[in-house]
Amino acid sequence: MSFTLSSRIFVVDALRGFALTGILLLHAIEHFDLLLYPHSETGWLAILNPIVSTILFFIFAGKAYSIFSILFGLSFYLQMKKQADRGIDFQGRFIWRLVLLFAFGYLLSLVYIGEILTAFALLGLLLILLHRLSNRWLVILAVLFLLQVPTLFLLRLSFSQPDFYYELNWSAWENVYSTFSKGSFLDVMQFNAYQGHLAKWQFFLNTGRYLQLIGLFIIGLLIGRINYFENLKQHLPATRIIALVSGLLFASVYTASFFIENHFSPAQTLLIRTLLDSYGNLFFTSLLFALFILLAMEWNIENKKTVLASYGKMSLTNYFLQPLIGVPFFYGFGLSMYQLCGVTLSLLFGIVLLILQMLFSSYWMKRYHYGPLEWLWRALTFWDFSIPMKK
């Protein structure tokens, strides 16, 4: 049984909503990249804080964005195919669409250093070059990107050269916390306009995140090509196998991470840990993806307009609003709540914001075809402001 276009979108949007939930909760406990916490919390808060942090980072850190990356590649394929079926070459229009996404992201980056839209826009350009390749070549390239070849090369050097030295450079992050905690709104914007982007890309380079994003874009493109979401029931056996294998691989990587200390040089330990973190995030992302699909089929949400699907359908609007609310709440130029909220209280803030956004999304999508920013992005893409928003 193949699903209709609308029912397929419900599953994809619900998955996107799940990823967005993880992103919001992580950003909340991180104070939107202002990693300073009060030292005065005692009692149950002091006990809960490390537990809450461990659980959320274990489930969502490096995984929520990965799911978003897969769905970005899928969306690229669906848009290209839709226009190709109409006899339209969408490449130029998609590049313009990425330019618009970069503009949205840069505006957001002036407030929040951790936005991902500019990176998606820049790295997404590679999809224009890759999408005409065969599935075989796309699989090969995806594997190469996800293997973190540059880090593997450095690790090989570390074993062949006894005097090999390697450490991560975090110089671009030196003034981040002082600016966000003590600076004015103008100070934050001036810092983020340039230095903030250097810090973000330094993180991407140090962790290999940029290579992983590209590999996951390609995975999303391949998922679109095999019509995975159009034929979810047909792919259920494969999905179960993916969940099982991903779980076993993650367990292996996670276990191995406990046995590398004191067995290798400092440089080798750092490189191995970087690889294990990247591989572990990849396998756990695959596990989450597969489990979500299996649960979606079990609960029959592929045919339901769930709150999670409404939330995911407005992902750009909701993602944009999160730091516009969270940054003034935690930063020094606003309420300075980083001084009062530890991890647990920050999580409560994130949960409240999540509920409000879900309620707003559910209300909005009952009355409109698109979220506000989704409509603007679409209208600017086609330079057509007559596209109806209201149902």
Residue-wise pLDDT for 248-300, tens only, equals 999 999 999 888 877 888 888 999 999 999 999 999 999 999 999 998 888 77
Over residues 181-212, the pLDDT tens digits come to 999 999 999 999 999 999 999 999 999 999 99
Helix (H, G, I), strand (E, B) or coil at 390: strand
pLDDT band for position 1 (50/70/90)?
A: very low
* H or E stretch at 370: none
C-alpha span between 213 and 72 (Å, rounded): 10
Query: Which pLDDT score, from 0 to 100, does residue 262 have?
Result: 75
Please give the average per-residue pLDDT across 386-391, as a whole number.
Answer: 88
H-only helix segments in the chain: 5-29, 43-60, 64-85, 91-109, 117-130, 135-146, 149-160, 176-182, 185-207, 209-225, 236-256, 266-298, 307-313, 315-330, 343-365, 372-382
**Whole-number percent of the chain with pLDDT over 90:** 74
C-alpha span between 323 and 114 (Å, rounded): 9
Over residues 301-335, the pLDDT tens digits come to 655 667 898 999 999 999 999 999 999 999 999 99
Is the residue at 391 inside a domain? no
Domain that holds residue 272: 5-382
> Please, which residues bridge with residue 390 across strands?
368
Decide if pLDDT at 7 tops 60: no
Taking a C-beta distance cutoff of 8 angstroms, is the pair 115, 109 a contact? yes
**Two tokens, residue 164:** 């090999």
* Whole-prediction pTM: 0.92
Tokens 């993650």 -> residue: 250
Is the residue at 119 inside a domain? yes
Domain count, the chain: 1
Helix (H, G, I), strand (E, B) or coil at 368: strand
Taking a C-beta distance cutoff of 8 angstroms, is the pair 220, 77 a contact? yes
Is the residue at 389 inside a domain? no
For residues 347-364, b (16+ Cβ closer than 10 Å) or e, as one string?
A: bebbeebbeebbebbbeb
Is the residue at 390 inside a domain? no
HEC letters along 294-347: HHHHHCCHHHCCCHHHHHHHCHHHHHHHHHHHHHHHHCCCCCCHHHCCCHHHHH
Q: How far is CA 147 from the centre of its chain?
A: 19
Residue 368 backbone dihedrals phi, psi, to 5 degrees: -135, 155
Closest CA to 365 of 341, 383, 387, 390: 390
**Two tokens, residue 132:** 């005409």
Q: Return the CA Rg of the chain.
A: 21
For residues 335-344, b (16+ Cβ closer than 10 Å) or e, as one string?
A: ebbbeebbbb
Is the residue at 355 inside a domain? yes
C-alpha span between 314 and 289 (Å, rounded): 20
Decide if pLDDT at 13 tops 50: yes
Over residues 65-106, the pLDDT tens digits come to 999 999 999 999 988 888 888 888 888 899 999 999 999 999
C-alpha span between 26 and 259 (Å, rounded): 27
Please give the average per-residue pLDDT across 110-133, as a whole number.
Answer: 94
C-alpha span between 315 and 366 (Å, rounded): 16
Is the residue at 11 inside a domain? yes
C-alpha span between 244 and 358 (Å, rounded): 31
Is the residue at 301 inside a domain? yes
